[in-house]
Amino acid sequence: MEFDAFDKKMRAYERSLDSFIAPELYLCARLDGRGFSRLTEQKFKKPYDELFYNYMTDTVRHLMSCGFNIIAGYTQSDEISLLFHPCDNTYNHKTRKLISVLAGEASGFFSLKLGAPVSFDCRLIPMKDKNEVKDYFSWRQTDLLRNSLDSCCYYALLGDGMDYLSATKMLEGRDVPFKTEFLSNYGIDYNSLPSWQRYGAVLHFDRTERTGINRKTGETVRFFRRELILSENLPAGEKFGEYILSLMDGALSRA
C-alpha cells in the first residue's frame, strides 16, 4: 500500500476515540495523586505536612505556567482543581491532549520534587454556566472540610494507641461540635490550625504594583507585573465559590 493511503488508514484508528470540549462550556480539570495514602503514610507527617503542601502548591504553580491559560488553581489534600480561562483553546480542547499533558506535567514535576516516581490522574469537568463553576469549587472545599476534621480526630486517637477499627467506630455518626470538642481534649484547637489544612489554598494571577529605578534617569518608577499569588485565607462554602467567580470576572475584565 502506498504510504499516504496507509497513513490515512492507520490514523483513522487512533482518531476514532478523539473528543473535544465544546467551546461554549466552562472547563475545570481535577488532578489527584495516585496511591497518595500510602505515599504520605510512608514519607510525610500525619495528618498534615507542610512540605507535602508546599510540593502541592508548587505543582499548581507549575501547571499554571506550562502553556495553558488557567485562571485559578485550588489545592486540598492530594488534589488540584484548575479553572480554565474561557479564552483558552489549547489543543482545541481535545480531551486526550488536555488530560494526558496535565497529568504528565503534574506527575513529572511532583516526582522531581519528591525524588521518586509518582503519578496523578486527571479528569475534565465541562460545565454549562458560572453557577456550576461556583458549585464545583464549593463542593471540592466541602470535601476537605469534612475530611480534615475527621483526619485530625482519627490521628489523635491513633496517637493515643487506638487501632484503626476502634477509631473509625468511635467517630462514626459524630457531628462537628462533638469532634471539635473531642480534639480540644487533646490540646488541639481545630479552628486555629493553619487555614490551608481546613480550607485549602488557591493560586491565581494578579497584577501587582512594583517599583524600580529607571537606570537612565535614576528616578523611581512604578509598574505592574502579572504574578501568581498564593491565597491561603480562603472563605468557606458558598462564599468560596463566589470568590472563585470573582477571580474569573477579574480575569475576563483584563482579557
Ligand X SMILES: Nc1nc2c(ncn2[C@@H]2O[C@H](COP(=O)(O)OP(=O)(O)O)[C@@H](O)[C@H]2O)c(=O)[nH]1
| Interface residues toward ligand X, by CB under 6 A | 32-37, 40, 44-49, 52-53, 77-78, 151
Sheet of 201-213, strand order? 120-127, 26-33, 79-84, 70-76, 201-213, 220-231
Q: Does 36 bind Mg ion (CB under 5 A)?
A: yes
R_g (Cα) of the chain, nearest Å: 22
Shortest Cβ 136–ligand X spacing (Å): 18
With CB atoms as reference, the residue minimizing the distance to ligand X is 40
Shortest Cβ 143–Mg ion spacing (Å): 12
78 versus 105: smaller Cβ distance to Mg ion = 78
Q: Does 32 bind Mg ion (CB under 5 A)?
A: yes
Which distant-in-sequence residues (6+ apart) come within 8 Å of 171 by Cβ? 150, 153, 154, 157, 179
- Residue whose C-alpha is closest to residue 209's, from 220, 193, 225: 225
Choice from 26, 28, 29, 33 touching Mg ion (CB under 5 A): 33
Shortest Cβ 185–Mg ion spacing (Å): 30
List strand residue ranges (DSSP E) for the chain, in order: 26-33, 70-76, 79-84, 120-127, 201-213, 220-231
Shortest Cβ 119–ligand X spacing (Å): 10
Shortest Cβ 35–Mg ion spacing (Å): 7
31 versus 183: smaller Cβ distance to Mg ion = 31
Dihedrals φ, ψ of 162, to 5°? -75, 150
Contact 226, 205 (CB under 8 A): yes
32 versus 49: smaller Cβ distance to Mg ion = 32
Q: Which does 154 bind (CB under 5 to 8 A by kind): ligand X, Mg ion, none?
A: none
What per-residue string of b and e applies to 10-29 under the rule 16 or more CB within 10 Å gives b? eeeeeeeeeeebeeebbbbb
Q: Does 78 bind Mg ion (CB under 5 A)?
A: yes
Q: Does 26 bind Mg ion (CB under 5 A)?
A: no
35 versus 67: smaller Cβ distance to Mg ion = 35
Paired with 221 in beta bridges are 212
- Which range in 10-18, 73-81, 211-219, 237-245 contacts Mg ion by CB under 5 A? 73-81
55 versus 84: smaller Cβ distance to ligand X = 55
Q: Which does 9 bind (CB under 5 to 8 A by kind): ligand X, Mg ion, none?
A: none
What is the spatial distance between Cα 19 and Cα 187, in angstroms, rounded to a whole number?
Answer: 53
Shortest Cβ 123–Mg ion spacing (Å): 12
**Angle subtended at Cα 81 by Cα 80 and Cα 87, rounded to the nearest 5 degrees:** 135
Dihedrals φ, ψ of 137, to 5°? -70, -35
Q: Which does 205 bind (CB under 5 to 8 A by kind): ligand X, Mg ion, none?
A: none
